[in-house]
Amino acid sequence: MHKPPPLLRLGDVPGGPEAGTLIARLADLPTHGGKDVLFKKDELRVNVFVQRWQNDVFVYENCCPHAHTPLNLANDRFLNLSENALICRTHGALFTIEDGKCIGGPCQGQYLRAVDFEVKSGAIYSK
């Protein structure tokens, strides 16, 4: 059985933003909207995504545990058509929105890596 990986603190990742960096403003995300966010420092890159869903917001590393590709292709869409799961566009793996567990597809039982964040004054910041 797989366990969820520990929360990812972006400030601990080479190339990641320091704690307190703006990831996204909630007002820029429609209901069930997502946002692909790329942080760059020199040659290093850290790619995460934000997903609003129901009354909550989730942030994950944008890296599928199957082949380590980003979940999306070229847009901010991370939900499946039914809008009840996250989907990897490369081979169709489905993940629960709440905890990033793969519930169908080639990496069944594995998890997306959740990012540590806080919401303050209507915006999402890294921790």
Residue 118 CB, shortest distance to ligand FES, in Å, is 28
| Number of neighbours of residue 74 by Cβ within 10 angstroms | 8
Decide whether 16 or 70 has the Cβ nearer to ligand FES: 70
Residue 82, amino acid = S
Residues 86-125 that bind ligand FES (CB under 6 A): 88, 90-91, 93, 105-106
Decide if residue 9 touches ligand FES (CB under 6 A): no
Decide whether 50 or 87 has the Cβ nearer to ligand FES: 87
Q: Environment class of residue 109 by beta-carbon count within 10 Å: exposed (0-12), middle (13-18) or buried (19+)?
A: exposed
Whether the CB-CB separation of 86 and 95 falls below 8 Å is answered with: yes
The contact pattern for ligand FES, residues 43-82, with x = CB under 6 A and - = no contact, is ---------------------x-xx-x-------------
Residue 39, amino acid = F
Decide whether 21 or 90 has the Cβ nearer to ligand FES: 90
| Measured distance CA(120)–CA(106) in Å, rounded | 37
Residue 115 CB, shortest distance to ligand FES, in Å, is 18
- Give the closest residue to 96 by CA, choosing from 70, 88, 119: 88
User: Which positions touch ligand FES (CB under 6 A)?
Assistant: 64, 66-67, 69, 88, 90-91, 93, 105-106
